[in-house]
Amino acid sequence: MENLPNIADLSFEDFKNQNGITYWWASEFMLMLGYADMGSFKKVIDRATKAFISLNIDHYENIIRVERDIDGKCIPDYKLTRFACYLIAMNGDPKKPEVAMVQAYFATQTRQFELYIEKQSDVERLLFRDEIKEGNKSLNSAAHQAGVEDYAKFTNAGYRGMYNMLNVQLARRRGVDKNKLFETMGRTELAANLFRITQTEERIKSQSIHGQEA
C-alpha cells in the first residue's frame, strides 16, 4: 500500500523513482501541475501521447500504465519517463500557474544544452544516456547485494556479451576515453545498452543469482 507524498516544498527531481528506469508517477505529477483528478489529467496525457506518435517515438515505453494500491484503493496510474513529463507539461493548461512553473523548469534544463541540440533524436539520445546512468547505479546496487566484488570485471562481462570485446577495446576502436563511450552512441545503440542493463538487474533479482562468477 502506498501513500501519496506531500508536494509542498518538494521539487520535480524529488519525486523521481528508480527501478531499472527513472520514472515519475502520473498521480503525483498531476498534483505538481495543478490537476485535481486523473480524469482531467488523462486528457493532457492523451495529448502528450499524440505528440510521441507524431515524433515517431514509442509512447508505450514512456507512458506505462500500471495498477497501484494507494490508501487501500487499487487505482490506475502511469509511470512517466522524464521525456514524458516534459511533453505532458508542454501540453498542460498554460493558465495554471503550476504548469507554467514546471514548463519554466524544463525550459531552464533545456537551455543548458540547446546550443548543441538541434534535432529531437539528439534530445532523446541524451535522455537515454541519463536513463543508462541511473540504470547502472541500480544495477551496481543489485550486483553488490548479489556478492559482486570486482565491478570492472562485472561491467566488462556486459560489454563482452554485447560487443565481444572489453570496454577499453571498444573505446580504443572509437578513439575515445572508456568513460565517454556512451557519448559515441546513437539512439538505437543506447536503447540496446539500456535494455542490457535493466535485464541484467532483473535476472540477478528474479533468479536470486549470487557470487561473482555466477
Tens digits of per-residue pLDDT, 175-187?
888 888 888 888 7
- Section 206-210 average pLDDT: 88
> 131 is written with which cell numbers?
536513463
Rounded distance between C-alpha atoms, residue 151 and residue 140, angstroms: 8
User: Across the beta sheet with 73-80, what order do the strands follow?
Assistant: 17-19, 21-25, 73-80, 63-70
- What residue spans of the chain are helical by DSSP H? 26-32, 38-54, 82-90, 97-111, 120-145, 151-163, 167-174, 187-206
Rg of the chain over all Cα atoms, to the nearest angstrom: 19
For residues 115 and 181, the answer to whether their CB atoms sit within 8 Å is: no
Total number of residues shown for the chain? 214
pLDDT at 113: 45
- pTM for the model: 0.50
- Section 133-160 average pLDDT: 87
Kindly tell me if the per-residue pLDDT of 110 is higher than 90: no
pLDDT at 3: 52
pLDDT at 114: 54
pLDDT at 185: 83
pLDDT at 10: 62
Kindly tell me if the per-residue pLDDT of 57 is higher than 90: no
> 116 is written with which cell numbers?
548543441
> In this structure, what are the phi and psi dihedrals at residue 68, rounded to the nearest 5 degrees?
-125, 145
